[in-house]
Amino acid sequence: MASKLDALNRWVDEVARLTQPDRIHWCDGSEAEYQALVELMLDTGDLSELNPATHPNCYLHRSNPSDVARVEHLTFVCSRNADDAGPNNHWMAPEEAHQKIDALFAGCMKGRTLYVIPYCMGPIDSPLARCGVEISDSPYVVANMRIMTRMGEAALARIEREGSFVRGLHSTGDLDPAKRFIMHFPEELTIKSIGSGYGGNALLGKKCHALRIASWQARQEGWLAEHMLILGLESPQGETHYVAAAFPSACGKTNLAMLIPPAAYPGWKVWTIGDDICWMQPGPDGRLWAINPEAGFFGVAPGTSRSTNPNALAMLDRDAIFTNVAETADQQPWWEGLPEGKPATDWQGRDYDPANGPAAHPNSRFTVSAKQCPSWSPRAEDPQGVPISAIIFGGRRESLVPLVFEARDWKHGVLVGAAMGSETTAAATGAVGVLRRDSMAMKPFCGYNFADYFSHWLSLDKANAKLPRIFHVNWFRKGANGKFVWPGFGDNMRVLEWIVNRCKGGVGAVETPIGLLPRKEDLKLAGLGLGEAELELLLEVDHAGWAREYAGIGEYLESFGARTPALLQQEHARVSGELAASLAPSAKVAVG
């Protein structure tokens, strides 16, 4: 009787013939295997041990200076039909893509070990979870995949039971940027990545599988794969509401996911389910139920401190891998934002010199098990997931966008998410600080045409659905002095409380054309020292400015052509019309 692993064995054999490794190792996910990989990388210099007294079982990896972030311009979605990839993706025909990248894979593992990495995205027994196998020649990838996924024998057993898995082929190649590609073949459930060892390009379970391929799977199967954190907000009475929130990379997702309530909230608790990726599926009760497909955090180090994210810092003193951070003279990890210590060597291993730029790379990272987080929720392992009460969208906007507003209904919420704009960050190569539309924070990660993606979101609004309320937040509003008006970090709890109260029907709101805003008296602001003018700015709705904004949103939606859902365009027209009416009769602003 044929085994369901026959297809996997045949694929491994095919890859081995192409890449010609010296050895093949099937990963079992054991502690002994992990320690052997660490010893190997210490011997080769791929890792260096950090101070065992202050950071036991912690290691530093320095990547090639040309390989420090995701490379969106080299990332392709290779669907058979170019329109299925959409203008939000770089497209290449599958046959051409396979031919181009396989030529680079030919013989690339000579002298290396081919690692077969079976993994599960999500709790191993969850019906919402999905499995994959990554083949890689990088022990650094294996070590990180063990932290980031449920990797090894249990995942292989599930693959054998189900007979299906996402295939991921990775090689660091020769790290030549001219030979670097990340290819996704959604119809084949296949990923091929070469020329990079950086996390988002090489840990194929993360953005490649859990977002680009999973978003395609989710549309086929009626669920959502999203670039979202998941947190639980528990009141002193023991009632917990779960919230999913989407922000572009390096815009505070990890900080929000691990928030510690301020002194004004005695008895409140924030539980961390996940900080980056959320898979949501409609349950039999009509609600959306969510899991975090990841088992660890691959977080941005710079800016992480006791004042910004004490929970994150508390989990980084043991059993962690650091990538491209600086080091102190006594081998402790260091990055900008830490108040204590000083760098002796920078992220490239050079003696620290401020003339060379930051000591830690702005996109330097830590990899650590989620269970080490002090606020980690045991419900992160619930096979059925957790029920989502609210979905929050957000980004960096220095002006115009209020602190928080609620969408009127689901279709308005989809428009709010589709229209999201944010300044770019160091997590992707290219210019920093440029405003771009980043729908649902999924622009770099949606595995298919955004117009179809918007239609899929809208399709969830059906009879008997009990969908989450949708909100938009902006922690980054600046005053005339150029400084942030809202304190952020732990004080974001004050906004979360209003959001939960809205979900419970416990507070009212101010109706505006762009959505529902808090009444001043419904935000707990005691102790913040916010002046009346600052509060007015945070809750301001500049109708003329929003009319211009909606003209730009209209142009953005039109860029997706005929596939753009009519319902979304109608909703855009409704809000635009309300804005125009609010400006009449003196307004001269053109509204699109």
Q: What are the 10-residue block averages of pLDDT along the chain, 592 residues in total?
A: 84 98 98 98 98 98 94 95 97 98 98 98 97 98 98 97 96 96 98 95 97 98 98 97 90 92 96 97 97 96 93 97 98 96 97 98 96 98 98 94 98 98 63 79 96 98 97 95 94 97 96 97 94 96 96 96 98 98 64 32
Within 10 Å of residue 173's Cβ, how many Cβ atoms?
A: 19
DSSP state of 441: G
Q: Residue ranges for the binding site for Mn(2+)?
A: 207, 227, 276
DSSP state of 164: -
Instruction: Give φ, ψ of 538 to 5 degrees.
Output: -65, -30
- CATH says 226-294+377-540 is which class? alpha beta
* Per-residue confidence (pLDDT) for residue 424, from 0 to 100: 62
Domain 6-55+72-221 has CATH 3.40.50.170: no
d(CA 237, CA 329): 48
How many residues are there in the chain?
A: 592
* Per-residue confidence (pLDDT) for residue 109, from 0 to 100: 98
H helix or E strand, kind and range, residue 552? helix 543-558
Which positions ≥6 away from 241 have C-beta within 8 Å? 232, 233, 389, 390, 500, 503, 504
Asked about 120 being catalytic, the answer comes back as: no
* Per-residue confidence (pLDDT) for residue 587, from 0 to 100: 41
* Per-residue confidence (pLDDT) for residue 592, from 0 to 100: 30
* Per-residue confidence (pLDDT) for residue 250, from 0 to 100: 64
Q: Residue ranges for the binding site?
A: 70, 198-200, 207, 227, 249-255, 276, 363-365, 396, 489-492
Whole-angstrom CA distances from 426 to 250, 300, 305 are: 8, 10, 18
N-to-C CA span, the chain: 63
Q: Residue ranges for the binding site for substrate?
A: 70, 198-200, 249, 363-365
Distance of CA 192 to the CA centre of its chain: 20
Q: Residue ranges for the binding site for GTP?
A: 250-255, 365, 396, 489-492
Choose the catalytic residue: 251, 278, 373, 503. 251
Q: Which long-range contacts (CB under 8 A, 24 or more apart) does 39-46 make?
A: 40/139, 41/139, 41/140, 41/143, 46/139, 46/140
**Tokens 């992160």 correspond to what residue?**
380
Whole-angstrom CA distances from 138 to 115, 131, 135, 196, 454 are: 8, 20, 9, 10, 37
Whether the ω angle into residue 585 lies within 30 degrees of 0, i.e. cis, is yes
d(CA 573, CA 495): 29
Q: Which CATH architecture has domain 297-372?
A: Beta Complex (2.170)
Report which of 313, 314, 424 is spatially closest to residue 363, judged by C-alpha positions: 424
DSSP state of 117: E
* Per-residue confidence (pLDDT) for residue 423, from 0 to 100: 63
Is the distance from CB of 267 to CB of 216 less than 8 angstroms?
A: no
d(CA 574, CA 111): 62
* Per-residue confidence (pLDDT) for residue 436, from 0 to 100: 84
